[in-house]
Amino acid sequence: MPRARNKEDLLNFAAENYAKLMEMISNMTENQMNTPFDFSDDASKKEAHWGRDKNVRDVLIHLYEWHQLMIAFVENNGAGKIIRPFLPAEYSWKTYGAMNVMFWNRHQNTSLEAAKQMLAESHTKVLSLAEQFTNEELFTKKYFPWTGTSDLGSYFVSTTASHYDWAIKKIKLHCKKVA
């Protein structure tokens, strides 16, 4: 799927990828759902997330937490407060892996059903926020001073359609290994 370059595509791609993700999860066998993720036999899977996420819940919580970042980014900056960066102050784009581990640790007692519900709610909230902006506001670089050199739409794409695509690929690979 191409990367969204306008509001209509942003909303459509996010909705489509979310639906694909949820459908794929609902079609998983009990064995696929209950077998822990293990990509350790694939040397090409070097990124930290391949070892971090052990199940579908972990992947869904990751998506949920990134939605929370997006929601806070838009709500805080849109309210005209002091410009707040996308990542929490204690993290940077060089250290966000540690933030992801913190999210993972935070939710080890969250159930799969709770994770699904939390993600469904945050998905709806993020798309609702995106709908409030015009195409120009979403896809004009530097339109808002708080998006830096990027455009707001890129943040929405990254936390929705692109992130859902990442989750789909990861879960699909797990299902293929366990099948």
Domain housing 56 = 7-178
Could you tell me if residue 40 is inside a domain? Answer: yes
**Structurally, how many domains does the chain consist of?**
1
Angle, helices 161-178 vs 152-159, to 10°: value is 20
Could you tell me if residue 55 is inside a domain? Answer: yes
Q: How many CA atoms lie within 13 A of 143 on its CB side?
A: 14
State the residue for tokens 């979310």. 18
Could you tell me if residue 19 is inside a domain? Answer: yes
Could you tell me if residue 1 is inside a domain? Answer: no
Looking at residue 81, what is its pLDDT?
Answer: 67
Residue 117 has pLDDT above 90, yes or no: yes
pLDDT band at 171 (very low <50, low <70, confident <90, very high): very high
Could you tell me the CATH number of the domain that includes residue 115? 1.20.120.450
Distance (Å) of CA 7 to CA 21, 68, 119, 123, 132: 21, 20, 21, 16, 10
